[in-house]
Amino acid sequence: MDTSIVLFTRDLRVRDNPALVHACRAARVVPLFVLDDAILGGRSAAPNRVRFLLDALRCLRGSLRELGGDLVVRRGDPVAHVAELAERTGAGAVALAEDRSAFAMRRLAALRGLPLEVSVHPGVTVVPPGGVAPASGDHYRVFTPYRRAWERAPRRPVAPVPEAVRVAPGVDAGPLPPLDALTSGPFSPDVPEGGERAGRGRLEAWLRRDAAVYDDVRDDLAADRTSRLSPYLRFGCVSPLELEHAAGEGFRRQLAWRDFHHQVAAAFPELPRRDYRPRGHRWNRDRDALDAWREGTTGVPIVDAGMRQLRREGFMHNRARMITASFLTRNLRVDWREGLAHFDAWLLDGDVADDAGNWQWVAGTGNDTRPNRTLSPLRQASRFDPDGDYVRAYVPELAPVAGGDVHRPWRLPEERRRALGYPPPIVDLE
C-alpha cells in the first residue's frame, strides 16, 4: 500500500498510537484532523474543550513536524475530506482509533462506504469496549464482575513512536484556525494547557509527587492530589494503557471505571438521554433551584464550592462531582439530564460515556447496585473537607469563617451571616 490516511479523532498523540503506527507502514501518509462542523455546532463544542482541542492540535502538529511530517487540518465533514484527500493522493486506506460513541459509529459507517480499506485500532481505553463480555449479554451492567474480567483481559503492547512520518506530496497542511473562529466562549479563566506535551508533563509531576499516596488522598477535597489527567485522557493526549503501566492499584481501578462506562455507552448509546434502568422517577421542574445550583449560590457551601470550581477551572474534584450531582438529583429532585448538560458545557474532560454514566450512577438510574443511596452534603463535607479549606478556596464570601464552621454558615449569628453576603440555604439540611 503506497499511501495511507490516518484520521485523528480523540487520540491526539504520537506515543502509543496504534492507528498512526499502522498508517506509517505505508510509504506515504496523510495525518489528518478534521474540525467537524457537526461537532463544533453541537453540544460537544463546549468552549473550554474547543480551546483545549486547539492546544492539542498545535502540539500534535509540532510533534509530527519533528518526525518529518505534518498535521493536515481541514474543517467540515470528515468523511468528505477523507474522500477528497484519498482521491488527491491516491491513498488506498484510512486508519483511525476505535471509538464506540453513537456519533463515532455513524462516522465509521460512512467511512466504510468509501472505496478505501478502513482499519480501526485500539487506544481510547485500556480494554476496548466488547474486549470482555459476560457469558450472557453484550456488556457488563455491574462494575465488580466487569473489573474482575478487565483484570484478566490481555493487553496489547504499547505502540512505539513512528521513526518517521513521510507526508504524501501535493497536500497543503492548512492553517489551524484561531480560537475565535471556532467559539466565542464563555471560557473558564483557570484552565491548563492542552496537548500531549502538557499531559506528559502533568503525568510525570504527578507520578513524582502524588502517585504513591493516591489511595490515601484521592477523596481529600482540599489536598487536590488526584492526577487531573482526565482532560488529557478525554482527548487522547496521554495513553490510558501507558498510564495503567505507570500507576498503582487504586488508580488502575479508576481506569477500569472509565472503561466500564465506555462499554456501557457502546452497548446503550442512549445513555446521555434515557434512563439506563428506569425507576419511575418524577423530577421537579424548579428553574430557580437549578439556576442556584448552576451558579453555585444554593447556600450549601460544599455544593457551591464544587459548582464554582467547575466554572473557574473547567474541572471539578471527583468527590465534589458526586456531592453536587447527588444534591441536584436527590435533594432538589431535578432531572439528571439538566445536571449533565451543565457539566458538559464546562468540563474539559466532558465525555458522553463518563459524564452520562456517572450522572446516571449518582441519580440511581444507572449501574449502581444500590440505587437508593443518598450522599448527605453535610456528612460528606465533614468527612472530605473537615477543615473547610476546599470551601474557602472557591467561595470567597466564606473565607473569613474558620475551620469546619464554614460548612454551616446558617448557624453563625445573624449579623455575622449578613455581613458575609452569602445566601441562606435553598433546602434545610439539618
Footprint of ligand FAD (CB under 6 A)? 218, 226-230, 233-234, 251, 254-255, 257-258, 261, 318, 321-322, 325, 343, 347, 349-351, 354-355, 358-359, 362
* Least distance from ligand FAD to the Cβ atom of residue 125, Å: 10
C-alpha to C-alpha distances, 422 to 307, 398, 425, nearest whole angstrom: 15, 7, 9
Q: Cβ 132 to ligand FAD, closest distance in Å? A: 17
Q: What is the side-by-side strand order in the sheet with 28-36?
A: 72-76, 28-36, 3-7, 93-97, 117-121
Q: Which CB atom, from 124 or from 325, has the smaller least distance to ligand FAD?
A: 325
State the minimum distance, in angstroms, from the CB of residue 310 to ligand FAD. 10
Contacts of 232 (CB under 8 A, 6+ apart): 194, 196, 198, 199, 202, 203, 238
Cβ–Cβ < 8 Å for 226, 317 = yes
Note the Cα 300 to chain centre separation in Å. Answer: 26
Residue 266 vs residues 322, 382, 383: alpha-carbon distances, Å: 23, 37, 35
Give the shortest CB-353-to-ligand FAD separation in angstroms: 8
The nearest distance, CB 1 to ligand FAD, in angstroms, is 35
The residue (of 230 and 331) whose beta carbon lies closer to ligand FAD is 230
Which is closer to ligand FAD, CB of 82 or CB of 353? 353
Measured from the CB of residue 375, what is the shortest distance to ligand FAD in angstroms? 10
* Shortest CB 383 distance to ligand FAD, Å: 16
* Closer CB to ligand FAD, 173 or 238, in the complex: 238
Instruction: Locate 300 and state its grid cell.
Output: 450549601
Give the Cα separation of 258 and 300 in Å (integer): 29
Of 69 and 194, nearer to ligand FAD (C-beta) is 194
The pair phi, psi for residue 239, each rounded to 5°, is -90, 130
Determine the Cα angle at 207 with ends 201 and 209, to 5°. 100
- 3-class DSSP assignment, residue 380: helix
> From CA 226, how far away is CA 168, in angstroms rounded?
42
The residue among 80 and 205 lying less far from ligand FAD, judged by its C-beta, is 205
> Of the two residues 384 and 422, which places its CB atom closer to ligand FAD in the complex?
384
Q: Distance between CA atoms of 221 and 347, rounded to whole angstroms?
A: 18
In whole angstroms, how far apart are CA 9 and each of 39, 52, 105, 140, 261? Answer: 11, 14, 12, 26, 19
Q: Which is nearer to ligand FAD, 141 or 261 (CB)?
A: 261
DSSP 123-163: -SSSS-TTSS--SSSSS-SSHHHHHHHHHHS--PPPPPPPS
Pick 301 or 350: Cβ nearer ligand FAD: 350
Q: Smallest distance, Å, CB 247 to ligand FAD?
A: 8
DSSP 300: -
Quote the least distance from Cβ 274 to ligand FAD, whole Å: 17
